[in-house]
C-alpha cells in the first residue's frame, strides 16, 4: 500500500512524457518531408469519375511565382523559405476567394503590400468566396503571379509564419491508415468541390516512408477509363502542375507527378475545409 502513490506519480509522469513525445513526433512528421479523421457521412452528390475544374483558375496566372524550398536539398543555406507548403497552399486559396487585382491602380510601397496580404491571409479559407465588389483590392498588378514575382518579400512577410501549420491537429492524419472506401469518398468530395468551382487543398502522405508529408491544391480532374487524374498546384514547383491519380478499381491514390517524390501509393485527405478540418 505504501507503493501506491509512487505508482500513480509514475503513470502521470509517463503520460506527460508521452504527450510531449506525441507533439514532437507531430512536428517532425510535418517538417521532415514537407518538401513536406476519416471523412464521415455519405459521399456528396456526384460520382468520382467526372471531369471538373475550378472556375477561372489559370496555373500561370493565379499561383505564387516563388517556391517552398526543401531544407534537405539545401543543408548548408541559411534563411531558406522552407517548410512553408501549408502556408502557401492555404494562401493560394485565400487569394482565390478573397482578393482581386487591379493593375490600373497605382502601385504601393512594401509596407502597404504587406498589410494587404495580411488582410487576405487573415480570412479563414473555409469561408465562402467573397463577391467581386467585397474583395480586398490588390492595386498595381494583374495577378497573384505578377504580385508575388515583383513583391516577393512583401508577400512572404504578409503570409506570416509557419509554426501553427506545423502543430495543427489535423496533421496527425499522416499517421492514419485509411480504407479504400474512405479514399473513394475523398475522390468524390474533390470532384464535387471542383464542380462547384472551388479549389481543393489536400494533405498527401506516404508515411511511414520519410518522403512525403505535404500539401497541394487540386484545380482540375481528368477522367480516364480506370483512373481519375487530379491536376494540382504544388508549392514546391511553381513551374508546372503536378498530378495525383485515383485508381477506381483499387480505390486508392498514387503520386503520379509530385515534386521530388517517387511515383507510388499515397494517402489523401482534404485540408482546411471547415473550422475543425
Q: What is the pLDDT along the chain (277 residues), one digit of tens a residue?
A: 443 333 333 334 354 444 444 444 444 444 434 443 333 334 444 444 455 777 789 999 999 999 999 888 887 788 899 889 999 999 999 999 999 999 999 999 999 999 999 999 999 999 999 999 999 999 999 999 999 999 999 999 999 987 666 666 677 777 788 999 999 999 999 999 999 999 999 999 998 877 788 999 999 999 888 999 999 999 999 999 999 999 999 999 999 999 989 999 999 999 988 877 7
Phi–psi pair at 49, nearest 5 degrees: -120, 20
- Whether pTM > 0.95 for this model: the answer is no
Transcribe the chain into DSSP letters. -TTHHHHHHHHHHHHHHHHHHHHHHHHHHHHHH-------SPPPSS-TT--EE-TT--TTTSS-SS--B-GGGSTT-SS--BS-HHHHHHHHHHHHHHEEEETTSPP--HHHHHHHHHHHHTS-TTSPPPPGGGSEEEET-SSHHHHHHHSHHHHHHHH--SHHHHS-GGGGGGG----HHHHHHHHHHHHHHHHTT--EEEEEE-TTSTT-EEEEEEEEEEE-SSEEEEEEEETTEEEEEEEEEEETTTTEEEEEE-TT--SEEEEEEE-SSSS--
- State the pLDDT at residue 186: 97
Q: What angle do CA 115, 86, 19 make, to 5 degrees?
A: 115
pLDDT of residue 51: 58
pLDDT value of position 77: 83
Amino acid at each position: 500500500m505504501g507503493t501506491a502513490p509512487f505508482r500513480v506519480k509514475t503513470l502521470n509522469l509517463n503520460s506527460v512524457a508521452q504527450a510531449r513525445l506525441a507533439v514532437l513526433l507531430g512536428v517532425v512528421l510535418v517538417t521532415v518531408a514537407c518538401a513536406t479523421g476519416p471523412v464521415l457521412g455519405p459521399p456528396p452528390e456526384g460520382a468520382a469519375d467526372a471531369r471538373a475544374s475550378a472556375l477561372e483558375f489559370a496555373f500561370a496566372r493565379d499561383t505564387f511565382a516563388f517556391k517552398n524550398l526543401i531544407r534537405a536539398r539545401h543543408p548548408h543555406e541559411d534563411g531558406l523559405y522552407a517548410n512553408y507548403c501549408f502556408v502557401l497552399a492555404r494562401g493560394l486559396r485565400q487569394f482565390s476567394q478573397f482578393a482581386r487585382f487591379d493593375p490600373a491602380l497605382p502601385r504601393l510601397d512594401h509596407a502597404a503590400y504587406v498589410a494587404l496580404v495580411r488582410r487576405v491571409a487573415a480570412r479563414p479559407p473555409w469561408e465562402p468566396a467573397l463577391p467581386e465588389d467585397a474583395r480586398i483590392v490588390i492595386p498595381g498588378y494583374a495577378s497573384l503571379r505578377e504580385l508575388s514575382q515583383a513583391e516577393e518579400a512583401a508577400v512572404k512577410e504578409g503570409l506570416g509564419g509557419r509554426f501553427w501549420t506545423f502543430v495543427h491537429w489535423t496533421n496527425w492524419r499522416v499517421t492514419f491508415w485509411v480504407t479504400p472506401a474512405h479514399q473513394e469518398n475523398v475522390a468524390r468530395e474533390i470532384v464535387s468541390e471542383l464542380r462547384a468551382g472551388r479549389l481543393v487543398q489536400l494533405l498527401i502522405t506516404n508515411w511511414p516512408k520519410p518522403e512525403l508529408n505535404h500539401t497541394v491544391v487540386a484545380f482540375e480532374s481528368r477522367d480516364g477509363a480506370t483512373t481519375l487524374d487530379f491536376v494540382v498546384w504544388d508549392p514546391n514547383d511553381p513551374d508546372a502542375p503536378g498530378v495525383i491519380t485515383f485508381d477506381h478499381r483499387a480505390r486508392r491514390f498514387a503520386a503520379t507527378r509530385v515534386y521530388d517524390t517517387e511515383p507510388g501509393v499515397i494517402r489523401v485527405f482534404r485540408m482546411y475545409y471547415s473550422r475543425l478540418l
